[in-house]
Structure 1
Amino acid sequence: MSSAVRTEPLPGEPPLRVPGDPYSVVVLLQGYAEPEGVGGAVRADGSVTLILPRAWGPASSPREPPPEGGEAKTALEEAARGPILVDTGGPWAREMLLGALAGQGVAPVDVTLVVGTHGHSDHIGNLGLFPGAALLVSHDFCLPGGLYLSHGLGEERPLWLGPGLEVWATPGHGGQRDVSVVVAGTAMGTVMVVGDVFERDGDGDSWQALSEDPVAQERSRKRVLGTADVVVPGHGAPFRVVRETWNLETKDPGNSRQGPVGNMDQTMHR
């Protein structure tokens, strides 16, 4: 037997919602990167994704502040009990971000954790909107007020936030400290929000020119394609990953892990 992987873009415009239990994923703003003018100028902004725990709602009782001491593990799990934002876009997208959050019934004060996949301005430009949230930017984790906690994240050691919810170290694009968020158990299988590990679907080899460590990023890209059913890239539409297994004797293809992503119309809601 042999296997092949291909990707397919997901139709539709943001906000795109993938329901799940215990977490749903909402792509609030779709990133882009477009050449403009001369001299290699590019107009760009990063994707912004919201992760909503099933038990949370706008009418939920006021949350307890994250513990001010103790272990990062406990603080991360507590922070993941409310809405989680993965990347914030650039400061020029402030009003768009606020409007997109409001469309989901979420106010900035409701957000309990912000994950910045890496430290570029088009991905973490609106951190100031969330002073009451815990922040995990690249590998730096701090509680409101700037109390930093050590956590031990590494490529072989993900951070567990809740059932089926993890942060992975996916180095390459911005150096050694990029991260991705993994959400298992959605109606479309495992969703990975990967920052610029993938610029967009079909980015070919173009990502290499933007990578601080192409060898590490290639390794991260392979991990993502080996795990995800849906990928939210940094600068393009979400796309699904389809794995096909081939019988080398009969040369007949057989779809593998096709169930979670087979009928998008029934699982993806605007």
Structure 2
Amino acid sequence: MSGPVRTEPLHGETPLLAASDCYSVMVLLRGYADPQGAGDAVRADGTVTLVLPRAWSSDSSRPMSWTTDGDAKTALEEAARGPILVDTGGPWAREALLEALARQGVAPGDVTLVVGTHGHSDHIGNLGLFPRAALLVSHDFCLPGGVYLSHGLCEMQPLILGPGLQVWATPGHGGQRDVTVVVEGTSMGIVVVAGDVFERLGDEDSWQALSEDPIAQQRSREKILGVADVVVPGHGAPFRVVREAVQSSEDLVCEDKEAA
């Protein structure tokens, strides 16, 4: 029986590498947010995560031939057959991002889908590196060349990209159109790439001040904590979600009888 939830550091997984039968999840660049000087200035950049289909290889990579018949479901499924980038960091991280992709054998032209969790510059500052990719930025989905498709994403209806791979609507931090990527069935359980729904482990005292809609973001945080085993936050190291077991009344009765 599921009980209270706590979070804790994820030890020994740097960068995070979790694999399922269908996908591998790798944190390419870890986000940060460091105060600068005595004022309110902060030096920051967002986490960049690669979701790589296990069936994909650079040897077989070729440019996608996109259909423009208006079927967003088919287009999203096609886009998810190649490397997927969740956020791109800021433009100042361009070279670091290219190097991190190269270490995984991925060239910018190989990326078939970029998901921008929200529209802040430290999370979508390198979209220009991926002109061949489909873009899902917040709730806007477009094919290369700027063909926009309607998809119906909302809090009650996720987007299904592939087996165990979804995009959730998780409003709050940047407004009503933030999104999160969920990868199920990995070696570490359910991995949630959350953008700035979670800034970092232990952000309970600070996230509200950065939120456009704290009530909606609290709802999104609770939804993620209800299912995630690992959360990849927007500005810190991945962390683990631990659910405490709660004994049922029947279990307590049985224990009392055994003690008697």
Query: Structure 1-normalised TM-score?
Result: 0.90
Cα 1:135–1:152, aligned 2, differ >3 Å: closer, same or farther? same
Cα 1:38–1:251, aligned 2, differ >3 Å: closer, same or farther? farther
For residue 2 of structure 1, report the CA deviation from its aligned partner: 6.3
For residue 205 of structure 1, report the CA deviation from its aligned partner: 2.8
Percent identity between the aligned chains? 75
Q: Which residue pairs with 2:230 in the alignment?
A: 230
Q: Which residue pairs with 1:121 in the alignment?
A: 121
Superposition pairs of residues 2-151 of structure 1, within 5 angstroms: 3-12=3-12, 14-151=14-151
Cα 1:199–1:61, aligned 2, differ >3 Å: closer, same or farther? closer
Q: Which residue pairs with 1:200 in the alignment?
A: 200
Q: Say whether the 8 Å CA contact 1:14–1:30 is kept in structure 2.
A: no
Deviation sequence 1:14-63 (CA, Å, 0-9, x none) = 43311221011001111000100132000000000000001001111424
Q: Say whether the 8 Å CA contact 1:89–1:124 is kept in structure 2.
A: yes
Q: Distance in 2 between matches of 1:47 and 1:176?
A: 21
Q: Which residue pairs with 1:165 in the alignment?
A: 165
Q: Distance in 2 between matches of 1:53 and 1:71?
A: 22
Count of residue pairs brought into register by the alignment: 252
The structure number with the bigger radius of gyration is 2
**Could you list the runs of 5+ residues in structure 2 that have no partner in the other structure?**
253-260
Q: Say whether the 8 Å CA contact 1:50–1:83 is kept in structure 2.
A: yes
For residue 217 of structure 1, report the CA deviation from its aligned partner: 0.2
Q: Distance in 1 between matches of 2:31 and 2:13?
A: 11
Cα 1:129–1:61, aligned 2, differ >3 Å: closer, same or farther? closer
Q: Say whether the 8 Å CA contact 1:2–1:248 is kept in structure 2.
A: no
Deviation sequence 1:204-246 (CA, Å, 0-9, x none) = 1310000000000000000000011110000000011111112
**Could you list the runs of 5+ residues in structure 1 that have no partner in the other structure?**
253-270
Q: Distance in 2 between matches of 1:163 and 1:63?
A: 23
For residue 97 of structure 1, report the CA deviation from its aligned partner: 0.3
Q: Which residue pairs with 1:257 in the alignment?
A: none
Query: Structure 2-normalised TM-score?
Result: 0.93
Deviation sequence 1:89-114 (CA, Å, 0-9, x none) = 00000000000000000000000000
Aligned Cα root-mean-square deviation (Å)? 1.6
The alignment status of 1:210 with 2:210, answered yes or no, reads yes
Q: Say whether the 8 Å CA contact 1:82–1:110 is kept in structure 2.
A: yes
Deviation sequence 1:122-181 (CA, Å, 0-9, x none) = 000000000000000000000000000111100001001001100000000000000000
Q: Distance in 2 between matches of 1:121 and 1:136?
A: 15
Q: Say whether the 8 Å CA contact 1:83–1:112 is kept in structure 2.
A: yes
Q: Distance in 1 between matches of 2:48 and 2:186?
A: 18
Q: What secondary structure sits across from 1:102 in the alignment?
A: helix
Q: What secondary structure sits across from 1:247 in the alignment?
A: coil
Q: Distance in 2 between matches of 1:189 and 1:121?
A: 30
For residue 9 of structure 1, report the CA deviation from its aligned partner: 1.1
Q: Say whether the 8 Å CA contact 1:80–1:113 is kept in structure 2.
A: yes
Q: What secondary structure sits across from 1:25 in the alignment?
A: strand
Q: What secondary structure sits across from 1:101 in the alignment?
A: helix
Q: Which residue pairs with 1:177 in the alignment?
A: 177
Letter in 1 for 2:233: P
Q: Distance in 1 between matches of 2:128 and 2:63?
A: 20
Q: Distance in 1 between matches of 2:103 and 2:157?
A: 35
